[in-house]
C-alpha cells in the first residue's frame, strides 16, 4: 500500500513537471569519496530499454526493505528520451548508488499507469564494498506490460563507469547480479 502511494506521488510530480526526467544516480555524478567510504556501499548497475518513450516512461524506485520506505533522491530512468544513452546499440545508462548497508528492493514504476504485475529485484548492500548488480534490461510487451531481464554486462558497464568516474577503481568490484524477486500483483 505504501509503495503504491509513493509511486503515485512520484508519478504526479513528474507529470506536473516538478521532477526532471533525468536520472540522479549517473555514475559520473557520484562523489569519488563514495568509493573509499568504509561505512557505505556502492552498487553499480545499468538500466536499459529496447526503446525510448515519450509517454509512460519507466523509473526504477529503490525501497529500503527494513523500513519499507522509498530511498529519497534516487531516480533511475530506464527509457526516458531526455537522457542520453551510454550505449550505441540501444538506450541505457550506467548508475552508481551509494547506500547504507542493508537490504533493498528495486521496483519499476511508470508515469501514467500501473502495470498488472511489477517485479521486484532484491539488492544487498555491504559496507565498504562496491558491487556490480548487472544490467536491468526492459522490453515492452504491449502498452501495459514490460518484461525485465537481468543481464551480465560487467566488462562493458565497468568500462563506462571508469570512464565517467575513475574512482570506481579505488577498490575491487564484486559481481553479484540481481536476482528476480516476487512480483507485486494488482
Q: Which residues pair with 147 in a beta bridge?
A: 139
* Window from 113-117, 119-123, 138-142 with minimum mean pLDDT: 113-117
Residues 6+ apart with CB under 8 A from 9: none
- What is the pLDDT confidence band of residue 182, given thresholds at 50, 70 and 90? low
> Residue 113 has which C-alpha cell?
499507469
SS3 (DSSP) at 24: coil
Give the mean pLDDT of 91-109: 94
Domain count, the chain: 1
What value does the mean pLDDT take over residues 148-168?
Answer: 96
C-alpha to C-alpha distances, 53 to 21, 46, 79, nearest whole angstrom: 11, 18, 6
* Parent domain of 110: 2-185
**Residue 13 φ then ψ, to 5°:** -65, -40
Grouping H, G, I as helix, E, B as strand and the rest as coil, residue 29 is helix
57-91 pLDDT, tens per residue?
888 899 999 999 999 988 898 888 888 899 999 99
Task: Name the residue among 164, 139, 160, 162 with its Cα closest to residue 149.
Answer: 139
pTM, rounded to two decimals: 0.84
Give residue 25's pLDDT.
86
Give the pLDDT confidence score for residue 185 in this predicted structure: 47
Angle at the Cα of 185 (from 184 to 186), degrees rounded to 5? 125
* Contact of 137 with 25, CB cutoff 8 Å: no
Which tens digits make up the pLDDT trace of 19-61?
A: 556 678 889 899 999 999 999 999 999 999 988 877 678 888 9
Q: What is the sign, positive or negative, of the torsion defined by CA atoms of 33, 36, 38, 41?
A: positive
pLDDT grade for 171, boundaries at 50, 70 and 90: very high
- Residue 167, pLDDT > 90, answer yes
The pLDDT of residue 6 is above 70: no
Amino acid at each position: 500500500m505504501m509503495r503504491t502511494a509513493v509511486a503515485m506521488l512520484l508519478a504526479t510530480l513528474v507529470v506536473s513537471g516538478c521532477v526532471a526526467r533525468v536520472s540522479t544516480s549517473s555514475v559520473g555524478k557520484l562523489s569519488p569519496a563514495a568509493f573509499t567510504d568504509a561505512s557505505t556501499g556502492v552498487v553499480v548497475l545499468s538500466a536499459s530499454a529496447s526503446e525510448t518513450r515519450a509517454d509512460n516512461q519507466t523509473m526504477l524506485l529503490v525501497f529500503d526493505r527494513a523500513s519499507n520506505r522509498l530511498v529519497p533522491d534516487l531516480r533511475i530512468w530506464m527509457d526516458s528520451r531526455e537522457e542520453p544513452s551510454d550505449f550505441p546499440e540501444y538506450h541505457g545508462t550506467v548508475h552508481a548508488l551509494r547506500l547504507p548497508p542493508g537490504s533493498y528492493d528495486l521496483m519499476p514504476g511508470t508515469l501514467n499507469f500501473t502495470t498488472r504485475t511489477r517485479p521486484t529485484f532484491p539488492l544487498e548492500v555491504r559496507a565498504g564494498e562496491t558491487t556490480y548488480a548487472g544490467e536491468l534490461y526492459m522490453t515492452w510487451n504491449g502498452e501495459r506490460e514490460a518484461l525485465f531481464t537481468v543481464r551480465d554486462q560487467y566488462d562493458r558497464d565497468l568500462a563506462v563507469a571508469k570512464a565517467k568516474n575513475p574512482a570506481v577503481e579505488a577498490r575491487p568490484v564484486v559481481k553479484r547480479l540481481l536476482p528476480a524477486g516476487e512480483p507485486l500483483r494488482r
